[in-house]
Structure 1
Amino acid sequence: MGTKTAPGLRPRRLPKHPASSLAERWTTVDDIDVFYRESTVPPDAPAMMHLHGFGLSGRYLLPTAERLGDEFHTLVPDLPGFGRSGKAANALDVPDLAHAAVRFLDDRGIDAVTLVGNSMGCPVILEFAHHHPERIERAILVSPAGGIYNQPLRRAVGQLTRDGRREPPRMMRVAVPDYLRFGVPSTFKMFQALTQYPSLERLLALRIPTLVVIGDRDPLMPGPARVQEVAAATDNHVLLVKIEGAAHAINFSHSGELAHLIRLFMADLPIVDDPDSPGHARLYEIHRSPHLPPTIGPEPQRRS
């Protein structure tokens, strides 16, 4: 198709070599072109949407999303202003991105969904749940970021730098083009929006089954004591699980373990290590709300 000149519209060109086994598609939401990936499953399959992090597109979420694509109606959009999608006339903040996620689901004819977010995607989920609790069935927050622990900007930059050294080298081939496309001005504006967002308040107000997944090598997360303190402070149905050896981009680096964990959570099954990934990172439960069913069977042993 020809190039469009409206602010939120971009050339609707699909890659010559698709990056995903999911179908790659375009739609228009509020006059903005939105690029997304979607699994081809029966229409009655439960819907699951994956939301990306700061400055990135949905591409790095694909390793996990693809593993779940046969079981769930899986959607991985590039939110407006990110990746291949068009930009809004004004810079988007967290509420705007949550609204865009809702409007994207409207466009796809989806009333209720489970949301899987990484990093910045987690505050977007919290805002979505705050305004549209009837439309979110479960929340899966992977490496939630944007709180006081990531402030000020120079601290966040240092954390991201340390994290980059802990991620698989192939992650850089995905992340660098996305960051360059996002741009420095957008980075400053989006970071300011994240620092102003009441993430903790929204987290404590959640009233749906929630899975929180963290990595023990993630420099953007506070220490275990603070994480467990926050988890214990909520009356929500919270399950907190740690993956050994994982840094921040768990959806990319530990997709097998994360997909296995999501399946267990969605089926209300006990948290056990993935038998199909021998020798890989182990996952184990570190907090379970009394509102959730108790774990059955022995807890996976941590490696020394």
Structure 2
Amino acid sequence: MSVVDGGWTESTLEVQGHQVFYRISADVPGAWPIVHVHGFAISGTYLMPTARLLAARATNVVPDLPGYGRSEDWDYTLGIPALAVAVLDILDAFDFEKVVLVGNSMGCPVSLEVAHAAPDRVDRIVLVSPAGGVHNQGLGRAVRQLAIDGARENRRMARVAVPDYLRFGPVNTFHLFSELTRFPSLERLLKVKVPTLAVIGSRDPLMAPPARVREVGRLAGDHTTVALIEGAAHAMNFSHPGELAHVISSWLDGVEIVDDPDQPGFTRVLQLPRE
């Protein structure tokens, strides 16, 4: 285990016979740990700006899922359910009874699957820029959306993302993308009764159109809150960490989510109709 800045440490643990790399902040007693779940074809590195800001309130863990980043490669591409099982194995390795999951992009359906499979292990879920489903089908459309998003992200994001994408490779990308777009994320969201916060960005080209967001809000139960950060694109964990951490902290504390004037972006909670 190596010590890095700000009390964070880095090490590996074994998941189903493979080494999984992780970053963990200092222990904070009395609060459920926060586990961050990264997106498609990328490691957990880009989640660190937000995780660092949340480290004062709880122990934060940022793993590279099996086959991603600095974790050991597998012989095949793990799908969403298999990645969810891996997350549960990580919780077991840390002996975490219950956690708060903060997923970004593909990390959102993975988090929903964890809560579906083991709802007693999840205190709350934060879905940041959820991805997958009809709006991201087919492959050509998704590539165009990613290209648009790349132009809207913080330029420093490329230094993090490009090496991860190249390491993940086109074969893994094709296999996992197909499953991601077919995964029943909406069904999981509607059936899982774990308190859920969805945070979306106004400049995220992978996000469904407003009418679809309103429809999901109508179908979702009162346990679901949707917040919008104006000016944020898809990887807001990296580009807008201050505003995102403020939104998450407010929601976890049960206080009104309002904009933090000292952070980039403008936050408002969407008032969505219910069934």
Q: Report the TM range for the smaller structure's normalisation.
A: over 0.9
Q: 1:281 aligns with which of 261, 265, 268?
A: 265
Q: Cα distance 1:216–1:147, how it changes in 2: closer, same or farther (>3 A)?
A: same
Supply the RMSD in Å over aligned alpha carbons: 1.9
Larger Rg: 1
* Structure 2 runs not aligned, ≥5 long: none
Report the structure, 1 or 2, having the larger helix content. 2
State the alpha-carbon separation in 1 of the partners of residues 36 and 223 from structure 2: 20
2:184 matches 1:198: yes
**Which is further off, 133-142 or 226-235?**
226-235
Q: Which piece of structure 1 moves more, 176-185 or 224-233?
A: 224-233
Query: Which range moves more in the overlay, 249-258 or 236-245?
Result: 236-245
Q: Any idea what the Cα deviations from partners look like across 1:95-139, whole Å, max 9, x if unmatched?
A: 000000000010001010000000000000111111101110001
1:173-215 deviation digits (Å, cap 9, x = unpaired): 0000110111111101111121231111111112011100000
Instruction: Please give the alpha-carbon distance, in whole angstroms, between the structure 1 residues aligned to 2:160 and 2:6.
Output: 13
**Residue 49, structure 1, aligned to residue 35, structure 2:** yes
Paired residues of 1:41 and 1:70 also in contact (CA < 8 A): no
Q: In the superposition, relative to structure 1, how do residues 45 and 227 fare at CA in structure 2: closer, same or farther (>3 Å)?
A: same
Change (3 A) 1:239 1:288: farther
- Relative to structure 1, the CA distance from residue 276 to residue 156 in structure 2 (aligned partners, 3 Å threshold; closer, same or farther) is same
Higher relative contact order (CA 8 A, sep 6+): 2
Specify the code of the residue in structure 2 equivalent to 1:204: L
1:21-51 deviation line (CA, Å, top 9, x unaligned): 6211111111110000001123433211000
- Does the Cα contact within 8 Å between 1:239 and 1:285 map onto a contact in 2? yes
1:254 corresponds, among 221, 240, 256, to: 240
- 1:298 aligns to what? none
Query: Retained in 1: the 8 A contact 2:31–2:57?
Result: yes
Deviation at 1:18, TM superposition (A): 5.4
> Is 1:127 equivalent to 2:113 in the alignment?
yes
Q: Percent identity?
A: 51
The one-character-per-residue Cα deviations of 1:30-73 (angstroms, maximum 9, x if unpaired) are 11100000011234332110000000000000000000011111
- What do residues 229-281 of structure 1 show as CA deviations (whole Å, max 9, x unaligned)? 1012112511101001000001000000000000000011001111433xx21
Gaps of at least 5 residues in structure 1 are 1-11, 291-304
Contact 1:59 1:174 in 2 (8 A): yes
The answer to whether structure 1 residue 118 and structure 2 residue 104 are counterparts is yes
Asked whether the equivalents of residues 25 and 36 of structure 1 are also in contact (C-alpha less than 8 Å), the reply is: yes
Match of 2:223 in 1: 237
Deviation at 1:77, TM superposition (A): 0.3
Q: Does 1:27 align with 2:13?
A: yes
Is the alpha carbon distance of 1:21 and 1:245 closer, same or farther for their aligned partners in structure 2, counting shifts above 3 Å? farther
Residue identity in the other structure for 1:285: V
Q: Deviations over 1:125-178 (max 9, x none)?
A: 111111101110001000000111000011000000000000010000000011
TM-score (norm 1): 0.86
Q: CA 1:35–1:231 in 2, change beyond 3 Å: closer, same or farther?
A: same
Query: How do 1:76-155 and structure 2 match up within 5 A?
Result: 76-155=62-141
CA contact (8 A) 1:210 1:236 kept: no
How many equivalent pairs are there? 275
